[in-house]
Structure 1
Amino acid sequence: MLTDIRLLSHQLAKPRFKSPKELVAWMGAIQAQEYAMAKWAVGTRLKSSSLQAVDDALAKGEILRTHILRPTWHFVVAEDIRWMMQLSGARIRTAFESYARSHKIEITGSDYIRGCNLLEKLLGGNNSLTKQELKDGFCKAGMEVDNFLISHFLIRAETDGLVCSGVDKNRKSTYALLEERVPPVKELHREEALARLATLYFQSHSPATLPDFIWWSGLTATEAR
């Protein structure tokens, strides 16, 4: 019985939704570390499975891929990305900065400001660029960055609400400016955001416990309670 409830809430049995946006909105967030397989994780939960429908939703910016909640990639709907990032951005940034320091990777405050200005210039006008294209753009502008440094920089820019996923290029993920990709929406107060996140989790992952929610959300035990 519990297994049946879990399959129903996960939309793996008797799926209710036709579009990727509806499905991701119901789930709250879907882990998307392995990009190609994560698309299928969305597609298999639809009434009529279609990888093209998922690709189209990503291209339109209806669903986005970014580092959010736990410090890993997730799919979220555009309308939810800002309030979810407000809940989890600082914690994700702290985790990655700790990792960077342990690997002797550092971005100074002045370099970060300069890099943000570069990102706005490179991505402005609804431009979508791959990580390699951004790396090349930074180097051309005189900011020498390797793969580790550009990755760390982009994660920090994600958590600050500057960039999010853009339109794929040759099946490769890209970055775009969040403000150009997602229209402004009404902000949620922190307590509203916490309640909203809990509602999304338990409606789509039940039966579940408080420790399950803490693990999925990345929240502290106090916040989760």
Structure 2
Amino acid sequence: MKPRTKARTRLVAQRLVGVKWVNPVDAMRAFGLMQGQDQSVFSSIALRSTGDIADVAHALESQEIVRGYPMRGTVFAAPAEDLRWMTELLANPGIERARTTVIDSGGSDSDIDAIRHIVLDKGPVTNAEFKAIVTQVNPEASARILYRTRYLLMVEGTLAYLGRDQRIGPAPTGGSLEEVFNGDRQAAANEIIARYIRTHGPVTLEDIVWWSKLPKKLVQESLRNLPNDIETSGEDYLRAGLIDEAAGSSSSVLRAPHLLPAFDEYILGYKDRLFAMSQETHEHVVPRNMGVFRKPVVVDGVVRGSWRKVGDKLVIEDVAGIPAYAEPGIRRKFRDYPFF
């Protein structure tokens, strides 16, 4: 599949164009996980559903959408009902290794127990309050202990980021791997891989392994048992009917510009990002490839530059030539952008 065709098809799969999900919770359930180390992930959810950040805020307040550390040692947004089993399946490092890193940093099992008890007793706390609790328990605690203890308590299923203010509090109960899949890791892998394919396809085996970090054999077994709404096209896996849906979309819809958050799944959801940009543009969007992302301007599926908000004004850095026809649409997208 040609890069431009792949880019357009992925725009449709992610519902950045075409029919949106009815509400933010449905969007989050469809994706399963969205990379969320930056709270701009809530704007990503809004862009794929109602477009209204107030709807996302409501889902956060009702704790239907939460954030945790389900995979890659990175914060992701997730449906509250799925966070526990996804973390049990995908978290790396897992509980025992995470506990060891706390101990190696100068903490202790008694420190971990005390911090857990105090946070659960006090209810949702801010990051500053969590730091104060860690320091109260261990006055010699380093920043490393602070981060690693918070990670451990989220990976073990005790805590999560909750609510509009994303305080640290009791993680959603239930929905464990045992409860949902009778402890069957393959069945759980089948589910998360199907969600990834539906929302990101066309994707390859390599994309799926890279994204999930699951063992290749587990992924290959999932691909031999795909649900009926997923099909193949060459080496690609995608939602059934997606190619026809993208081909049937009007040119004006596909060519429309998009202002995306810095850590959006359209950029971070694939092993190879060059389907949507040149190497030069990638170096601009991800300077020195150090994990810092600029907010991309996307036109017809292609990243053309980056954007930022300065006061109330839109500032654009044009890297790859933003077509003149896209400029009015870019201004409209900035006016309607769901800032969190």
Deviates more, 1:18-27 or 1:131-140: 131-140
Match of 2:218 in 1: 223
Deviation sequence 1:113-132 (CA, Å, 0-9, x none): 2322222222xxxx221121
The 2-side partners of 1:128 and 1:52 are apart by 21
The 1-side partners of 2:72 and 2:173 are apart by 25
Q: How does 1:185-196 map to 2 (within 5 A)?
A: 185=175, 186-188=179-181, 189-196=184-191
Which residue identity lines up with residue 196 of structure 1 in the other structure?
A: E
The 1-side partners of 2:9 and 2:100 are apart by 39
Which residue identity lines up with residue 184 of structure 1 in the other structure?
A: G
Q: How does 1:71-110 map to 2 (within 5 A)?
A: 71-89=73-91, 91-92=93-94, 105-110=105-110
What's the offset of the Cα at 1:177?
0.7
The 2-side partners of 1:86 and 1:73 are apart by 15
Q: Contact 2:73–2:92 at 8 Å: present in 1 too?
A: no
Match of 2:197 in 1: 202
The 2-side partners of 1:162 and 1:90 are apart by 16
The 1-side partners of 2:19 and 2:77 are apart by 18
Confirm or deny that 1:38 pairs with 2:28: no
Instruction: Select 1:52's aligned residue among 51, 54, 57.
Output: 54
Higher RCO by CA contacts (8 Å cutoff, separation 6 or greater): 1
Unaligned runs of 5+ in 1: none
Which residue identity lines up with residue 24 of structure 1 in the other structure?
A: M
What's the offset of the Cα at 1:11?
1.1
Deviates more, 1:19-28 or 1:128-137: 128-137
Q: Contact 1:89–1:160 at 8 Å: present in 2 too?
A: no
Instruction: Select 1:5's aligned residue among 6, 9, 22.
Output: 9
- Secondary structure (helix, strand or coil) at the match of 1:212 reads helix
Greater percentage in strand? 2
Unaligned runs of 5+ in 2: 221-340
Q: Contact 1:88–1:218 at 8 Å: present in 2 too?
A: yes
Instruction: Select 2:174's aligned residue among 171, 174, 184.
Output: 184
Deviation sequence 1:36-94 (CA, Å, 0-9, x none): x2111111111x30111111111111111111122211111011111101112353557
What's the offset of the Cα at 1:183?
4.5
Instruction: Select 2:128's aligned residue among 104, 125, 132.
Output: 132
- Secondary structure (helix, strand or coil) at the match of 1:76 reads strand
Q: How does 1:140-155 map to 2 (within 5 A)?
A: 140=136, 142-144=137-139, 145-155=141-151
Assess, with a 3 A threshold, how the Cα gap between structure 1 residues 95 and 110 changes in structure 2: closer, same or farther.
closer
Q: Contact 1:39–1:54 at 8 Å: present in 2 too?
A: yes
The 2-side partners of 1:55 and 1:148 are apart by 31
User: Under a length normalisation based on structure 2, what TM-score does the superposition of the two structures give?
Assistant: 0.57
The 2-side partners of 1:97 and 1:215 are apart by 25
User: Under a length normalisation based on structure 1, what TM-score does the superposition of the two structures give?
Assistant: 0.83
The 2-side partners of 1:19 and 1:200 are apart by 17
Q: Contact 1:128–1:167 at 8 Å: present in 2 too?
A: no
Deviates more, 1:8-17 or 1:83-92: 83-92
Match of 1:174 in 2: 167
Match of 2:161 in 1: 165
What's the offset of the Cα at 1:165?
1.3
Q: Contact 1:70–1:92 at 8 Å: present in 2 too?
A: no
- Secondary structure (helix, strand or coil) at the match of 1:55 reads helix
Instruction: Select 2:26's aligned residue among 8, 12, 22.
Output: 22
Match of 1:114 in 2: 114
What's the offset of the Cα at 1:28?
1.5
Match of 2:208 in 1: 213
Which residue identity lines up with residue 72 of structure 2 in the other structure?
A: R
What's the offset of the Cα at 1:139?
3.4
Assess, with a 3 A threshold, how the Cα gap between structure 1 residues 110 and 183 changes in structure 2: closer, same or farther.
closer
The CA RMSD measured in Å over matched residues stands at 2.3
- Secondary structure (helix, strand or coil) at the match of 2:174 reads coil
Greater percentage in helix? 1
